[in-house]
């Protein structure tokens, strides 16, 4: 996966011709914290259904730099942190992905100290780590910042249980402190936690391996700290990627004759399914699949308003794909991005493709439709907008080139191969 790769896509000019079946891979946002949780174990853990994507590769590199072995074959990963011997997180690898933050708490809880650079990731606005620093201080840690690096140490190498209220429902903070509390002394209470399926999956895994966690599925968790956990040699399956499934659902609504999205969990996408159905999209909901049928290809769907919100609200990570959908719907729609202040910048490129979008402020846009889109040369700014551009290119007239494919590769496994199988004219070109 070369950073200079690009996708060349021949658009369908609004025709709804795609058909067949497409598989959903394991969730990136579930796999990364599960990988970090290996630090809490005194023997190997084995993960199944791990997506073969750049972020997983980066996390593996980071684990290896700490003395943790990883063995990744097909979609199965074995991680052994028995010999972890370093508490200093590699600067270059850590800054590639925001998910490096997941490792900070487990390392601190296990080794009594940790140092790390400010985490990296996509450029989608300010993503401060004050929630993490404040939480570690409440658990008794001392923090120093020197030369763009944080140094955190626990007195006597042991964190203390604490009561932590999150001002915002942060997935990464919830997952981090759930893991951290597993090895802290005494009880930790986490309030106003994120309740995304990926957080629940992490908690259920830790609990199944001996962690004393109560309150899963609610906004408050209680964790009684203890000793290292045991992997038991049993495999844990990474849940399906609801965001990938959501993107395929939007693509199917816009460009498919008949598309079946397999190996997903429709319960994780209830708000998207409801909105699309209300708009007029024909969707069949199964136990582990979603099907989209356009029996009347000339039908124009109705627009609607969305406001991103923590789960089970509308996911910020599906905001860009749904905005592409709204460019093809009847009437005036409004998109209110409540979580990241720079996440609507990609709409400038949709306007260049012919979309009628007006930005009111960094958090709000108005979309009028339907407007036909024209193929353009595009630069994917982040993981989610990159895939939204891909959807836009598929429905546009003529051809489009999407540069910065590295961002799409960070979140979606071999996306072009899967799309080719359902009829998308897409080719990866390496320079």
Catalytic residue of the set 58, 122, 247, 264 = 122
Residue 139 phi/psi, 5° resolution? -90, 10
Please give the Cα distance from 96 to 90 (Å, whole number). 10
Cα(123)–Cα(381) distance, integer angstroms: 7
Q: In degrees, to the nearest 5, what angle opens at C-alpha 61 toward C-alphas 57 and 65?
A: 170
Measured between alpha carbons, how far is 419 from 415 in angstroms, rounded to an integer?
6
Containing 245, the helix (H) or strand (E) segment is helix 242-255
First-to-final CA distance of the chain: 11
Residue found by looking up tokens 């893991």 in the block: 179
CA distance 136 to 114: 11
Distant-in-sequence, close-in-space partners of 193: CB < 8 Å, separation ≥ 6: 166, 169, 174, 178, 199, 219, 220, 221
CB 46 within 8 A of CB 237: no
Three-class DSSP labels, 177-219:
HHHHHHCCECEEEEECCCCCHHHHHHHHHHHHCCCEEECCCCC
| 247 tagged catalytic | no
Report the catalytic residues.
122
């Amino acid at each position: 996966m070369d950073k200079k790769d690009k996708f060349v896509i021949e658009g369908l000019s609004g025709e709804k011709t795609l058909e067949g079946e497409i598989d959903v891979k394991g969730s990136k946002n579930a796999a990364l914290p599960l990988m970090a949780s290996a630090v809490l174990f005194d023997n190997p853990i084995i993960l199944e259904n791990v997506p073969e994507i750049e972020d997983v590769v980066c996390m593996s590199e980071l684990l290896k730099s700490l003395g943790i072995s990883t063995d990744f074959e097909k979609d199965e990963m074995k991680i052994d942190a028995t010999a972890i011997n370093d508490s200093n997180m590699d600067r270059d690898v850590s800054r590639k992905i925001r998910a490096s933050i997941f490792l900070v708490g487990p390392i601190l809880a296990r080794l009594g100290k940790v140092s790390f650079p400010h985490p990296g990731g996509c450029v989608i606005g300010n993503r401060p780590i004050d929630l993490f620093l404040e939480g570690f201080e409440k658990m008794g840690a001392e923090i120093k910042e020197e030369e763009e690096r944080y140094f955190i140490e626990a007195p006597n190498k042991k964190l203390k249980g604490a009561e932590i209220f999150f001002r915002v429902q942060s997935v990464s903070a919830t997952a981090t402190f759930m893991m951290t509390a597993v090895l802290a002394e005494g009880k930790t209470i986490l309030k106003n936690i994120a309740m995304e399926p990926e957080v629940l999956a992490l908690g259920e895994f830790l609990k199944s391996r001996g962690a004393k966690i109560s309150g899963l599925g609610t906004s408050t968790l209680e964790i009684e700290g203890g000793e290292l956990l045991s992997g038991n040699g049993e495999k844990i399956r990474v849940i399906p990627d609801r965001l990938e499934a959501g993107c395929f659902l939007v693509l199917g609504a816009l460009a498919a004759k008949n598309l079946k999205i397999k190996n997903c969990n429709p319960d994780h996408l209830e708000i998207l399914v409801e909105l699309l159905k209300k708009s007029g999209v024909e969707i069949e909901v199964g136990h582990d699949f979603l099907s989209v049928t356009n029996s009347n290809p000339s039908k124009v769907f109705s627009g609607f308003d969305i406001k991103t919100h923590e789960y089970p609200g509308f996911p910020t990570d599906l905001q860009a794909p749904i905005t592409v959908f709204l460019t093809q719907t009847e009437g005036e729609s409004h998109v209110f991005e409540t979580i990241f202040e720079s996440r609507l910048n990609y709409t400038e490129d949709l306007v260049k493709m012919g979309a009628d979008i007006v930005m009111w402020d960094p958090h709000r846009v108005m979309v009028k439709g339907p407007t036909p889109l024209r193929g353009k040369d595009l630069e994917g700014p982040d993981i989610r907008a990159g895939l939204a551009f891909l959807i836009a290119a598929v429905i546009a007239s003529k051809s489009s080139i999407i540069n910065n494919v590295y961002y799409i590769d960070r979140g979606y496994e071999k996306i072009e191969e899967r799309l080719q199988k359902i009829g998308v004219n897409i080719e990866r070109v390496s320079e």
